Amino acid sequence: MANLVNEVPSIMLMGPGPSCVAPETYKAMSMPTIGHMDPYFIKIMDSIKSGLRQLMETDNNVTVPISGTGSAGMETAFVNSIVKGDKVLVLVNGVFGKRMVDVAQRLGADVTEIEFPWGTPVDVDNVKLEIEKQDFKIVAMVHAETSTGVRNPAAEIGELIKGDTLYILDCVTSLGGIPVKADEWGVDILYSGSQKCLSCPPGVAPVTLSEKAMAKVSTRQAKVPNWYLDINLLTSYWGGNSRVYHHTAPINMMYALYQAITLVLEEEVENVFARHQAMHEKLVAGLEELGLEMHVAKPFRLPMLNNVKIPDGLDEAALRSRLLNEFKIEIGAGLGPLAGKVLRFGLMGHTARPENVDRLLSALKVCLA
């Protein structure tokens, strides 16, 4: 039987994720596997936590990577914070806001959903009016909506949240690409994913919980309804001097996350942000020269996720197929109401480099001709 892994093609990942992985991170993954309770692995665990605090701009003690993809981060946020019957406000302007609603409803929350046009940001004034009408236990929003390419007003929403209300923020696409300020914005539970701007393969979901969030989690009357994602149990493994076995962590994935964080910090976070913005501007200029139009207004665009309107008469599926098969470039299709209406170009982490943008634009020029 042929070894299929040896035949995996080299694809330039310029879709909504995963992103291209740096050689140093691949090398880290190939290091020898050791035990998940090994003293040396515990050193790596502690370094990961410290690095995540820097990237999230938080002093939260409970800042850990969940063994699972970004969706596991979302589940962790909601399964720990929601008690059946809690009033939860979810701000929706894309697929992943909709997913928040689904997860909260499955946990028995009384969910209020405010939906905004896809391609536009959450409107702070509308949210303020809703918060003044009802006493919500949780307000949740996606910071960087991957399905639309919109940056939402995370700081402004945080200013509206008072008292015991918890603020949950999805930073799956934003962490490592644009500023994320958990403490300054008043975020109580923030989660992300490894495979976007951190340029680590998918499989790890960084999360952080404030003291206010942990107070609710640790004093809830009913157990967290998911054993694997119970943060009370996870902290006994990820924190303290005496580690308690919880699960077998994906050792080599944690090596990769450690290396990915190290690369961001070595480049310096502000330089990483500037690189993402510069590559975004280079891509947009090139797309406009080709006659393509951006879907999101300039003030609200994400640098790492660029949605482009599909011109009349263009077979977008055929374009994506040709880019993949002939040019070895992957881009993304639209989701939900935007399916068939937009293309999604990712510039995340290691992908956000001038030679990659040039290669994409050259291929698009050939295909569109």
Cβ count near 355 (within 10 Å): 8
> Which pair of tokens denotes residue 249?
């962590």
Structure confidence by residue, pLDDT tens digits, 41-69: 999 999 999 999 999 999 999 999 999 99
**pLDDT value of residue 1:** 74
Domains and CATH numbers, the chain: 4-17+268-368 (3.90.1150.10), 24-265 (3.40.640.10)
Q: Which residues contact 198 (CB under 8 A, 6 or more apart)?
A: 175, 176, 192, 257, 260, 261, 264, 349
CA distance 281 to 153: 21
- Characterise 138 by phi-psi region: left (phi > 0), alpha (psi -120 to 50), beta (else): beta
**Strand partners of residue 114:** 91
**pLDDT value of residue 2:** 79
pLDDT, the chain, mean: 96
Structure confidence by residue, pLDDT tens digits, 272-281: 999 999 999 9
CA distance 286 to 94: 26
CA distance 354 to 79: 41
Q: Which amino acid does the sequence have at 147?
A: S
Element (H, E) at 305: strand 305-309
Contact 341, 333 (CB under 8 A): no
Averaged pLDDT for residues 311-318: 94
CA distance 173 to 235: 25
Can you give the pTM of this predicted structure? 0.97
Averaged pLDDT for residues 154-174: 97
Averaged pLDDT for residues 103-110: 98
Would you place residue 240 in the very low, low, confident or very high pLDDT band (cuts 50, 70, 90)?
low
Does the pLDDT value for residue 242 go beyond 90?
no
Contact 168, 295 (CB under 8 A): no
Q: Helix or strand or coil: residue 336?
A: helix
CA distance 286 to 288: 5
CA distance 276 to 183: 23
Averaged pLDDT for residues 165-181: 98
Counting residues of the chain whose pLDDT is more than 70, the rounded percentage is 99
